[in-house]
Amino acid sequence: MLTLLSLVAIVLYLFAAVRQWQRLGSSSSNSAGLRGQILAGGTLAWVLQISVTAQLLVQQDTLNLSIFPTGSLIASIVVLILLLSSLRQKLDNLFIGVFPMAGLTLLATLISSESAGSKIYSLGVIAHILLSITAYSVLTLAAFQAVLLSRQERALKQHHTRGLVNSLPPLQVMERLLFEMIFAGFLLLTAALITGALFTEDLFAQHLAHKTLLSIIAWVVFAILLGGRMLLGWRSRTALRWTLAGFILLMLAFFGSKAVLELILGS
C-alpha cells in the first residue's frame, strides 16, 4: 500500500509541475483553470507523501530519522509551506522545481529499505529536530526563490520578458519575498541551535559536532546576509550567492553525516 501511495504521489507531483510549466504560455482565461488543477494535484500529492512519510518515520515508540525518510519529511514541509504561501503571494512558478524535488525524495525513500536510526527521543530533542527540519525547509524554499530571482533579473537586463519572467511579480516584490523567507528561516535556525545546545548531551558521541559547526557557520552566513541587506542594501545577485552558500552548508550539516554514516559506513 505504501508503494502504491508513493507512486501515485510522484505521478501527481510530476503532473502538477508539468501543468505549471504549460501555464506559463497560456492565456489568462486558461490560467485560472490550470492553477486549480495544479493546486489540487500538488495538495493531493502532499497528503499522500506526508501519510507515507509519517508511517516510515514513526515506528512503534521510536523515530526513524535515517536519511531518506528525513529527506522526504523536509520535502513535504517545503511543499506545504509553498502551497500555503502561494494562496497570498505569487509563488506558483516555484512549483516547477519544488514538486519534482519532492517526488524524487519520495522515490528515493521508496527504493531504500534501510531503517537505521530508529531511537527514542526526549521531548526537548524532538523539539530541536522539528525546529531544525522546519528551518531547513524554509531556507530550501528561499534557495529556490533566490535562483528564480536571479534568473528574472538576468532576463530583464537582456530584455527577455516573455514566458517565465512575464509571469513573475515585480523584481522588488520577489526580493521582499526572498528576504522574508530568509528571515523566517534564520529565526527558526536560531531556535534550533538554542534547543540543540540545551538538550543535546554529548555532541561527539552522537556524531553531531561537525553538524553543529556547519549549522553555526550557516547561521553566521545568513546573519551577514540579513545585516548586509539592512545596512548596505544588498540585492538579488549578492543575495543569491550568500543564500546558496548558507543552504549548501545546511545541506552538508543535515545530510552529509547521514550519507557517510548510513550509506558508506552502514552504521
Specify whether the CB–CB gap between 90 and 168 falls below 8 A. yes
Most confident option among 11-15, 54-58, 112-116, 214-218: 11-15
Mean per-residue pLDDT of the chain:
82
Q: Would you list the DSSP string of 141-189?
A: HHHHHHHHHHHHHHHHHTT--STTGGGSPPHHHHHHHHHHHHHHHHHHH
Can you give the pLDDT at residue 238?
85
Instruction: Select the more confidently predicted residue: 53 or 162.
Output: 53
pLDDT for the residue numbered 213: 86
Write out pLDDT tens, residues 96-105.
889 999 999 9
* Residue 165: DSSP 8-state: G
Cβ-contact 177, 138 below 8 angstroms: no
- Closest to 45 in 3D by CA, of 88, 91, 104: 104
Spatial contact of 78 and 45, defined as CB atoms under 8 Å apart: no
Which H/E stretch holds residue 34? helix 28-57
Q: Which of 137-146, 150-159, 162-171 has the highest mean pLDDT?
A: 137-146
What the block records as the C-alpha cell of 59 is 515506528
Q: So what's the pLDDT on residue 166?
A: 62
Does residue 147 carry a pLDDT above 90? no
- Strand ranges for the chain from DSSP E: 58-59, 62-64, 118-119
Average pLDDT in the 174-182 region? Answer: 88
Is residue 45 predicted with pLDDT exceeding 50? yes
Q: Cα 121 to chain center, whole Å?
A: 24
Reported as a single tens digit per residue, the pLDDT across 61-103 is 677 777 788 888 889 999 999 999 888 877 788 898 899 999 9
